Amino acid sequence: MNENFKDKVVYQIYPMSFMDTTGNGMGDIRGIISKLDYLKELGVDLLWLTPVYSSPKNDNGYDIADYYQIDPDFGTMEDFEELLSEAEKRGLGILMDIVANHTSTEHTWFKKALEGSKKHQDYYVFRGKEFVKDHPVTSIFGGDAWEYIENLDLYYLHNFDKTQADLDWDNKEVREETYRMMNFWLEKGVKGFRFDVIDMISKVWERCEMSNGPKLHEYIEEMADATYRNYDDSFTVGETWSADLEHAEKYSNPDNSEFSMIFTFEHTMFGIDKWKSSIDLLKLKEIFEKWQKGLHGKGWNSLFYNNHDLPRAISRFGDDREKFREISGKGLAILLYLMEGTPYIYQGEEIGMTNRSWTREEMQDVEAINYFEMAAEKEDEAEVLKKIGNISRDNARTPVQWNDSKNAGFTGGKPWIVVNENYKTVNVRGALRDKNSIFYTYKELIKIRKKMDLIKNGTFDLIDKKSKEHFSYVREYRGGKLYVFSNMTDKGIVIPEMTGVKDGEIIISNYNETEKNGRLRPYETLAVRVKAKG
Ligand code: TEU
């Protein structure tokens, strides 16, 4: 079976914020083409584009109005085809984002449903008063997930914004439309897909649970058979917030895989209320241990800290104060990308982009705005803004900082979202010029991964689980070992276990001069290889 995905590294592009070539303030496909050489230099294999289809963009493209069109803000179908061929020339594959749990209410199916077409109402989850009363659902973006349509005297379900109507996957026609659309993109030459909230396509109405319904895996199998299983080297990743190990094994079981892998989010959440959560190192280690051990030999992990829905890696897991930003960013990369799984790098992560503080006027994200409107009624506004600064999705969506000129070189016009103020110090041009930058640590890690089978196949064991200061682990494969030690604090610490690896070779670290003397400086992180004897 195709296991190519185990050697790949994926770079996630959020096109709206990547690179603008038209001056409309919004990134576009030609902008992506113009940066392909940069991505090649980094060494990644696949580019996952978040949705570029025609959309009113109430949820930045996750509200699709036409699955067969490129949104004019991003360019044309010709631009997209050129992207495919230019990417291919450089050995890069393109992954499309499949948002099939819902469509925009601007989609013709939904419009026809509103006009009274029964066939199209059945594409969605339209229900009468009684059903809705007995089946309360809260939207993930806040408020009631049922929206009333007066002239139909029916409600429709929207698990996200009210302009994102849930499709009914129990309707065979909906499934077939989805497969047809996926084949359209496969035939164009895309290498695979990332599936948006795919765990929500089958619902459990008895308990009003919106994920992990009884038909979930059956539908995914059916979809795989009808589409990407017919392509030898396809690459797929499901976004599954609700997955436990058992589901994860089904999704990514090497013998009969539904997907190459899934995204799980336990390590990014910490508590039910996302706005109140903060990282706890002991828990973080436990979570990684659970997934590393749990899927070893049984499935496959995705390795990521951030994406377009999550705050910036360094601000969340590390230390974004300028004094520590680079050391911390490099340390985090070494810590994560030597684990088992496929690495995902979110645009700007490779140069150490950070969160910023937000005012109400600057906020763009529908989720953050809804939260602000609700929370600011009960709590101190400054406190609410602070939480938003820590967690808001807008942090990930500030434009990529290409250089230190106006708007960080992202656009000649007015950017659709503010540029992070630190672009004068944090930018691609500077990172490429400085051989000590975070960029080169990422590049080196990608090279190391491609050379060492141990990283793909080795076992994983935590070292000193109970330490609240460091995150360290050992990987083992055919007698060879790889130790990773990471000081997660801004102070010097001692790790006695390090004395055991004196004979090993340091293969990567985040400080220039490193010793294996058991003492680690703030955020110091290093990987030591001990070769098999004989
Ligand atoms: O995200 C799914 C999802 O559940 C998130 O909305 C998540 O709860 C939230 O972002 C945490 O802050 C996917 C997409 O990645 C996201 O951008 C979309 O908004 C969402 O689906 C709806 O399509």
| Residue pair 102/51 in contact by the 8 Å Cβ criterion | no
Judgement on whether residues 243 and 293 belong to the same structural domain of the protein: yes
ipTM surpasses cut 0.90: yes
pLDDT of 397 reads 98
For atom 12 of ligand 1, the residue with the nearest CA is 309
pLDDT of 4 reads 83
Q: Ligand 1 pocket: which of 59, 139, 140, 365 to mutate (most atoms <8 Å of CB)?
A: 140
For atom 11 of ligand 1, the residue with the nearest CA is 309
Judgement on whether residues 150 and 67 belong to the same structural domain of the protein: no
* Domain residue limits at 116: 108-166
pLDDT of 485 reads 97
**Count of the separate structural domains present in the chain:** 4
Joined together, the tokens standing for residue 146 give 């049922």
| Residue pair 257/251 in contact by the 8 Å Cβ criterion | yes
Q: Ligand 1 pocket: which of 139, 196, 198, 365 to mutate (most atoms <8 Å of CB)?
A: 196
pLDDT of 289 reads 98
- Report how far ligand 1's centroid is from the alpha carbon of 385 (Å): 20
For atom 10 of ligand 1, the residue with the nearest CA is 309
Q: What is the C-alpha separation between 520 and 488, in angstroms, rounded? A: 10
Q: What pTM value is reported for the model?
A: 0.97
- Report how far ligand 1's centroid is from the alpha carbon of 521 (Å): 37
Pairing of strands 154-157, 146-149: antiparallel
Residue 449 lies in a domain: no
Judgement on whether residues 282 and 311 belong to the same structural domain of the protein: yes
pLDDT of 277 reads 63
Mean pLDDT (the chain, rounded):
95
Give the three-state DSSP class for 288: helix
Q: What is the CATH number of the domain that holds 521?
A: 2.60.40.1180
- Report how far ligand 1's centroid is from the alpha carbon of 309 (Å): 6
Which protein residues touch ligand 1 with a CB less than 6 Å away?
Answer: 59, 62, 99, 140, 160, 196-197, 241, 274, 308-309, 367, 393
Judgement on whether residues 344 and 404 belong to the same structural domain of the protein: yes
pLDDT of 272 reads 60
Where the chain has pLDDT below 50, the residues are none
- Report how far ligand 1's centroid is from the alpha carbon of 201 (Å): 14
Q: What is the CATH number of the domain that holds 304?
A: 3.20.20.80
For atom 3 of ligand 1, the residue with the nearest CA is 197
pLDDT of 477 reads 97
Would you list the DSSP string of 70-137? E-TTT--HHHHHHHHHHHHHTT-EEEEEE--SEEETTSHHHHHHHTT-HHHHTTBTEE-HHHHHHS--
Torsional sign, CA 241, 242, 244, 249 = negative
pLDDT of 255 reads 73
For atom 14 of ligand 1, the residue with the nearest CA is 196
Q: What is the C-alpha separation between 432 and 180, in angstroms, rounded? A: 42
pLDDT of 254 reads 77
Catalytic residue list: 196, 239
